[in-house]
Amino acid sequence: MKRNWRAYNKDLFAPMRRASRDYGLIEAGDCIGIGLSGGKDSTLLLYSLAVLQKTLPTPFQIKAMSVDLGWENDYTAHRALCEELSIPFEVVPSNIGPIVFEERQEKNPCSLCARMRRGAVNNWAAANGCNKVALGHHLDDVIETLLMSLFFEGRLHTFAPRAYLSRADLTVIRPLVFVKEADIRRIVRKLDLPIMHNACPADGFTKRSEEKALIAQLAKDNPGIRDRMMHAVTSSLWTSYQITS
């Protein structure tokens, strides 16, 4: 592996190993299908799982796929990265973008688009012999979702580090839940990983962007706020996912 990943143990691999150990994310014999949007989070997820595959004692397989949303993205650099990492990669065509933004002219496009993308990723994984699907959600996603849920649904909730989907007989895992977005940005730059431009018309104008800005503002006076919010999640919301033995 050409890139110098050893410099990122503290901010990337240690939090990933902790998430895997605490919630049973990577287990012997797993075949993990990675949802690769081409953005920074899933691209680093792809790279870091390839490193863990070579460095953890647990034997597991990985494959990657991208759901093409119909915006003529160029997958050349990601194809080359997958080749470099010896990860089988497939692009699955779809017309999710035009359906959500043109045909349906959705007022709140993000949830429909996310549901359709998730469906396409899960169908592909189930058809390609994967027992798990890995997504690139990180620590900031966890706490922003917590705030959205609190402010707009009136409940304390966020997504899970591991979730079993009985209909598809698949387990969704989120190995980056303890990795901060700022670290992802920095590490992706240092490792010179390819990033695809996000062609989504809603990018930067979502509810999530508002919570992100709010947390950034609060963090100016309270620098440990992200870690404390995350502690509240692990100690109150995610206890049922914890592996105790």
Ligand X SMILES: Nc1ncnc2c1ncn2[C@@H]1O[C@H](COP(=O)(O)OP(=O)(O)OP(=O)(O)O)[C@@H](O)[C@H]1O
- Interacting residue ranges for ligand X, rule: CB under 6 A: 35-37, 39-42, 66-67, 69, 117, 121, 135-137
H helix intervals, 33-158: 40-55, 76-84, 96-98, 109-127, 139-148
The strand order across the sheet containing 61-68 reads 89-93, 61-68, 31-35, 132-134, 170-173, 162-165
Token readout for 46 is: 């792809």
136 by Cβ neighbours in 10 Å (0-12 / 13-18 / 19+) ranks as: buried
- Min CB(244)–ligand X separation in Å: 28
Helix pair 181-190, 139-148: axis angle to 10 deg: 150
What string of H, E and C letters represents the secondary structure of 175-220?
CCCCCCHHHHHHHHHHCCCCCCCCCCCCCCCCHHHHHHHHHHHHHH
Nearer to ligand X, 128 or 222 (CB): 128
User: What angle separates helix 225-232 from helix 139-148, to the nearest 10 degrees?
Assistant: 70
Q: How far is the CB of 10 from ligand X (least distance, A)?
A: 21
- Give the single-character DSSP code of 240: G
- Nearest distance, CB of residue 219 and ligand X, angstroms: 19
Looking at beta carbons only, is 92 or 235 nearer to ligand X? 92
Considering the complex, state which of residue 61 and residue 94 has its C-beta at the smaller distance from ligand X: 94
Task: Tell me phi and psi for residue 196, to 5 degrees.
Answer: -90, 140
Report in angstroms how near the CB of residue 222 gets to ligand X at its nearest: 24
CB-based closest residue to ligand X: 39
As measured in angstroms, the least distance from the Cβ of 17 to ligand X is: 19
From CA 86, how far away is CA 55, in angstroms rounded? 15
Could you give the CA distance from residue 234 to residue 208 in angstroms, rounded to a whole number?
21
Work out how close the CB of 22 gets to ligand X at its nearest, in angstroms, rounded to a whole number. Answer: 20
- Give the nearer residue to ligand X in terms of CB position, either 122 or 224: 122
Nearer to ligand X, 69 or 170 (CB): 69
Instruction: Give 108 or 223: the residue with its C-beta nearer to ligand X.
Output: 108
Q: Closest approach of Cβ 206 to ligand X, in Å?
A: 9
Tell me whether residue 117 or residue 162 sits nearer to ligand X (CB atom): 117
